[in-house]
């Protein structure tokens, strides 16, 4: 074969091989997920759900065609996710994408079906404009229908889609009762939490009456940040309710602090201590300070501008156990949290810590005065990790489960007297707790699948210094070594050229 023919044949064969491999890939799709948290691999719970669908699920996705680049990512991610669901479901899921911007009639239909219009900013002819876009989906199975009002790119897309499919397969949503009557936050203050719970449950406010048993249509109770006394008769009703197998989640702030009014911090007593002791738990009587903490803004009189300072009374928590309630969590923030201690009989109760402070923590006696000018140092945190969230499960599996957190307002929108957006981990922690006490953990592994908080571990002063010197000296050493080796090679070349018979 001539060189010219070879030069033509080899590229042609490579091109044909590429076409053949592409055709094979169209028929047998596969991919390798190299991410640590397996973010591009469907969770086993999702696979079990879509493979056992009683009938075909149809997904109608409404996505405006002209989306800003940041939002267009969500459309492509959702399309890829639906394609994988359709393939892995064995034909039990079908989907279509519609552009509601194509006609006013289609846009009106999408809105009437529950798709929520969103405002987006785009640039047209060098001008910034606000446009209204739609990016949601409607799911149907038989005569049932559910809606995903708005989708966004990110790790929660699989959870959003799987939980919507799960809603179609249920005959009735379980009902969660949010206890009121003791100055707990209203459902309005818990709207972010209610939205998260609404993916699997109906949520309803309820009161506890001493004269009547708790209505058993509630599968579980959430007692969030009670600030007034709970009468013993009502606590007895909760015990009766749990004796029937129902679960309870208690988020209790044993520390009373209102920094907007006073720097004095004291303990709160609503009469719940003996009840907790009866379930093998004690909260307090201290407040936890953590070197790994959030920040507060302080206005300095000298410059008149707010500055952010570390505030050890707001611990940032990323130390989680392997308990199901802690699954998928990456970061949670508490405020004025108290430690939880197990005081029960380990022969009758299974105590499981869920979330703890860092190893650089301190237990401070209450009452105390908060001094924002205090310069905290490592010796101020001598007490090690402190459990601030725990679960108790009776050995008798017919009895209800209990989850307790040593902070009350971590899942409310009211943080220090201000309405703020909650960290995702705070909401996931409470939803996970509700799942566990209700023994509904089938989809729990999907929520929080991808961790977004990945702090760089502190290597220590000695290793940090070694790395600095290595970064400085290693490139210089490599250049010098290369120069030395090249010099020796060139010297060897010169000697060979000078030998008799080297040039023929």
How many Cβ atoms are within 10 Å of 109's Cβ, its own excluded?
Answer: 16
- 44-165: what CATH class? alpha beta
Q: Could you give the 3-state DSSP secondary structure of residue 86?
A: helix
Residue 302 is classified by DSSP as: T
- The whole-number pLDDT of residue 134 equals 87
**pLDDT > 90: percent of the chain:** 38
Locus of tokens 């010219």: 4
Q: What is the pTM of this model?
A: 0.76
Higher pLDDT, 380 or 199: 380
Q: Could you give the 3-state DSSP secondary structure of residue 118?
A: strand
With left for phi above 0 and alpha for psi between -120 and 50, is residue 436 left, alpha or beta?
alpha
The highest-confidence range among 1-10, 178-187, 462-471, by mean pLDDT, is 178-187
State how far Cα 206 lies from the chain centre: 28
Cβ-contact 175, 219 below 8 angstroms: yes
For the chain, the domains span: 44-165, 175-437
The highest-confidence range among 113-122, 174-183, 439-448, 475-484, by mean pLDDT, is 174-183
Sorted by sequence, the CB contacts under 8 Å of residue 364 that are 6+ apart come out as 286, 287, 288, 289
- The whole-number pLDDT of residue 275 equals 95
Q: Rg (Cα) of the chain, in Å, rounded?
A: 30
191-196 average pLDDT score: 86
**Per-residue pLDDT reduced to its tens digit, 379-414:** 999 999 999 999 999 999 899 999 999 999 898 866
Residue 488 is classified by DSSP as: H
Residue 315 pLDDT greater than 90, yes or no: yes
How many Cβ atoms are within 10 Å of 79's Cβ, its own excluded?
Answer: 13
CA distance linking residue 240 with residue 275, whole number of Å: 13
Tell me the β-bridge partners of 341.
282
Sorted by sequence, the CB contacts under 8 Å of residue 107 that are 6+ apart come out as 100, 101, 134
23-49 average pLDDT score: 68
**Per-residue pLDDT reduced to its tens digit, 349-379:** 999 999 999 999 999 998 999 988 889 999 9
DSSP string for residues in 34-61: --TT-TTS--HHHHHHHHT-SS-EEEEE
- The whole-number pLDDT of residue 207 equals 94
Cβ-contact 419, 319 below 8 angstroms: no
- Quote the mean pLDDT of the chain: 85
Cβ-contact 141, 58 below 8 angstroms: yes
What CA–CA distances, in Å, run from 191 to 107, 196, 377? Answer: 27, 9, 38
Higher pLDDT, 76 or 242: 242
State how far Cα 328 lies from the chain centre: 6
In 3D, which of 390, 438, 451, 409 has the Cα closest to residue 257?
A: 409
Range 175-437: architecture per CATH:
3-Layer(aba) Sandwich (3.40)
Higher pLDDT, 330 or 156: 330
Residue 210 pLDDT greater than 60, yes or no: yes
Residue 233 pLDDT greater than 90, yes or no: yes
Question: Which alpha helices (H) appear in 395-460, and where do they start and end?
Answer: 424-437
**Per-residue pLDDT reduced to its tens digit, 152-165:** 766 678 888 888 89
In 3D, which of 128, 193, 225 has the Cα closest to residue 423?
A: 193
Q: Could you give the 3-state DSSP secondary structure of residue 103?
A: coil
CA distance linking residue 314 with residue 362, whole number of Å: 12
Question: Per 3-state DSSP, what percentage of the chain is helix, strand, and coil (rounded to 5)?
Answer: 30, 25, 40
**Per-residue pLDDT reduced to its tens digit, 42-60:** 778 888 888 888 899 999 9
In 3D, which of 440, 448, 196, 157 has the Cα closest to residue 328?
A: 448
338-348 average pLDDT score: 93
Cβ-contact 175, 149 below 8 angstroms: no
- The whole-number pLDDT of residue 418 equals 54
């Amino acid at each position: 074969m001539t060189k010219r023919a070879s030069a033509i044949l080899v590229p042609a064969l490579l091109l044909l091989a590429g076409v053949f491999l592409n055709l094979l890939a169209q028929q047998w799709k596969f991919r390798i997920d190299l991410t640590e948290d397996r973010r591009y691999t469907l969770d086993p719970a999702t696979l079990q759900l879509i493979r056992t669908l009683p009938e075909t699920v149809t997904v109608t996705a409404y996505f405006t065609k002209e989306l800003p680049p940041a939002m267009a990512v969500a459309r492509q991610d959702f399309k890829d996710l639906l394609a994988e669901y359709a393939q892995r479901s064995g034909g039990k899921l079908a989907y279509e994408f519609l552009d509601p911007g194509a006609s006013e009639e289609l846009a009106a239909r999408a809105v009437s079906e529950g798709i929520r219009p969103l405002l987006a900013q785009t640039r047209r002819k060098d001008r910034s404009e606000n446009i209204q876009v739609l990016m949601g989906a409607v799911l149907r199975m038989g005569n049932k229908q559910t809606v995903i009002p708005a989708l966004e790119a990110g790790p929660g897309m699989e959870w959003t889609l799987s939980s919507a499919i799960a809603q179609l397969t249920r005959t009735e949503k379980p009902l969660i009762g949010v206890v009121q009557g003791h100055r707990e936050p209203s459902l309005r203050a818990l709207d972010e939490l209610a939205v998260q719970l609404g993916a699997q449950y109906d949520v309803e406010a309820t009161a506890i009456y001493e004269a009547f048993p708790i209505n058993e249509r509630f599968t579980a109770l959430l007692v969030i940040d009670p600030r007034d006394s709970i009468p013993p008769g009502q606590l007895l009703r909760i015990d009766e309710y749990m004796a029937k197998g129902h679960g309870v989640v208690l988020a209790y702030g044993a520390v009373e602090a209102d920094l907007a009014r006073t720097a004095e911090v004291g303990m709160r007593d609503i009469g719940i201590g003996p009840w907790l002791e009866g379930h093998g738990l004690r909260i307090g009587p201290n407040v936890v300070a953590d070197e790994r903490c959030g920040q507060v803004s302080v206005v300095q009189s000298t410059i008149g501008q707010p500055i952010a300072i570390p505030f050890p009374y707001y611990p940032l928590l990323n130390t989680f156990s392997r308990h199901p309630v802690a699954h998928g969590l990456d970061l949670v923030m508490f405020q004025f949290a108290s430690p939880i201690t197990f005081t029960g009989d380990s022969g009758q109760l299974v105590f499981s810590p869920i979330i703890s402070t860092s190893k650089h923590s301190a237990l401070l006696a209450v009452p105390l005065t908060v001094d924002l000018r205090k310069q905290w140092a490592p010796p101020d945190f001598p007490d090690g990790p402190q459990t601030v969230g725990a679960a108790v499960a009776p050995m008798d599996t017919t009895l209800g489960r209990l989850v307790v957190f040593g902070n009350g307002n971590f899942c409310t929108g009211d943080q220090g007297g201000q309405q703020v957006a909650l960290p995702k981990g705070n909401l996931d922690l409470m939803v996970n707790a509700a799942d566990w006490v209700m023994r509904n953990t089938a989809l729990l592994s999907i929520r929080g699948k991808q961790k977004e908080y990945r702090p760089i571990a502190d290597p220590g002063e000695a290793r940090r210094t070694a790395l600095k010197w290595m970064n400085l000296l290693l490139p210089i050493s490599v250049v010098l070594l290369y120069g030395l080796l090249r010099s020796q090679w060139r010297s060897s070349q010169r000697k060979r050229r000078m030998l008799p018979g080297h040039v023929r």
